Structure 1
Amino acid sequence: MLIAIYQPIVTRIELFRATRMWQKGVKATIAKYKECGAPRFYMLYDKSHKDFAIMTYDPNRKDMLAYRRLVQMGKWKASRYFKNVEDIKAASYYYTPSKWGAIGCDADNKVRAKKLKQWQEYYMYRVSTLMFKLRIYKKEHGID
């Protein structure tokens, strides 16, 4: 009975936290995009630091964080590697417009909503400790 009251409250709180975290990451990505001269930035989640990693795909002149450079140095530890820009674009939780004309997440609200939903799902199952504890409790007590 108590779980019927507790679960919706925890779910709303965690969705709110996920959304706020995503918004802060988007603001940081846009600020980095305006500050630096890289063509496009991608916002990925770094599990080890529990924060967003804002990076470009190709190495650049200003030695900003670049995905291919991290792979070359062996510092990118992930279950899957990105083979091209389309892969990293699909896996990122936000990306800026390209300096060469390709649109970013802000230009299309459907893409922006899809990326937010993608982040919320990831957050709820991989990041949130409250949701993890709730899933364990439900599993222990056989609640569906």
Structure 2
Amino acid sequence: MALTYLHTMVRVKDLEKSMAFYQLLGLVETRRHDSEEGRFSLIFMAPPDQPDCPIELTYNWDGDDGLPSDSRHFGHLAYGVDNIYETCQHLMDNGVTINRPPRDGRMAFVRSPDNISVELLQNGDALAPAEPWVSMESIGHW
């Protein structure tokens, strides 16, 4: 039995904020479907060099009162990055809270505007531990 990865779907409350968050991570919109009849939009975003590995943002035009929730039942998304420290600094500079800082030079967690947990993993070997990350406390949960 062959298995092909298609996408991961998350529901979003504020489409513009959510798209801006994923753009900060480096994802770009690869395709979109707007359903007038169903009153929803599906926006697919992926790393530019990996268009076959998208996340699907599902946006209900009339709102979704259940969002944002804790979303821990979802698990998390994970993306590899070339420099965990630069990526986290870029996110912080743009108002994103680093919930689990990359104290080990390997892994960090942040949350999207819709409370989706996103794991960032250093590509290759871990970077040497460095400040301010080593001394930074975790915030909330991931």
Give the number of the structure whose residues are more often strand, by fraction. Answer: 2
Q: Could you say which structure has the larger radius of gyration?
A: 1
Whether TM-score is above 0.5 comes out as no
TM-score scaled by length of structure 1: 0.23
TM-score scaled by length of structure 2: 0.23
Give the number of the structure whose residues are more often helix, by fraction. Answer: 1
